[in-house]
Amino acid sequence: MNSVTAHDYAWIRNSPLFDHLLEWGYTLTFIRGRSPHGLLRAVDAEPRGTGEGTAGLAEAEAAHREEVDGDEWEDSYVVGAFDTPGEKGDWTVVLGFDGGLGLPGVEKLSEGGRVVVHSSNSGKPIHLFDWYEDGVLRTSFEGPSARHGSSPDELVPLLREVGFPVTPEGEHDENAPDVDRFDRKAAVLALTERLTGVRVTESLLRDATYELGLVPEQLAEK
């Protein structure tokens, strides 16, 4: 049984990569049941070749920003996708320096599989977590004591195990051990690993070969 907790992800606070993600805003999506190529096709992404590591992904996003310079309403962005082993087979991991916009049509992407997403925007920090199962949003939250979805309380035991300061009823627990030193982002990464089996490390994201795609502002009608 996977026993990972927030403590296993304490390294993110000394990570230049995560500093960059939090500064610029990001979405990290984990998808079971779709290949990187199939996922990018499903979101109508325009192929942009491959990128070596997060440096290559950032270069592709910067090049796109130059293309649309001056268009303040431009919400398209470049994402990178790669596959990695996890629970019940391979998962596709998708990273975007997208300001927390996220992939379009995530509910549909989860049909027949599972999707786990966490993100941060680049303004006043909003940190979101979403778990989808077979086309349904099961649990979503910004703060873990204010959950919604079709089964908002299902993850409460896992929330407590990975380190979120919540009571058995899912309320905020001000008396939880280490509550003053609680690292919500580290706990979210631990929760994500519990649901996907994918251990995120700096090298996993930094050194992957990404299949790149330009995600449009909205999906085409089909």
Alpha carbon 93 to chain centroid, angstroms:
8
Cα–Cα distance for residue pair 118/188, rounded to 1 Å: 8
Of 128, 188, 184, 180, nearest to 158 (Cα)?
Answer: 188
The pLDDT, as a whole number, for residue 160 is 94
Cα–Cα distance for residue pair 209/9, rounded to 1 Å: 23
The pLDDT, as a whole number, for residue 173 is 86
Phi, psi torsion values for 204, nearest 5 degrees:
-55, -45
Cα–Cα distance for residue pair 142/186, rounded to 1 Å: 14
Cα–Cα distance for residue pair 155/125, rounded to 1 Å: 23
The pLDDT, as a whole number, for residue 51 is 97
3-state secondary structure of 165: coil
pLDDT along the chain (222 residues), means of 10: 89 93 93 95 95 96 82 76 95 94 93 96 86 98 95 96 93 75 88 97 97 82 50
DSSP structural state of residue 219? P
Q: Which two tokens stand for residue 82?
A: 């790669």
| H/E run at residue 206 | helix 202-206
CA angle 151, 5, 91 (to 5 degrees): 65
pTM for the predicted model, two decimal places: 0.93
CA distances from 154 to 51, 110, 128, 160 (A): 38, 18, 17, 12
The pLDDT, as a whole number, for residue 175 is 81
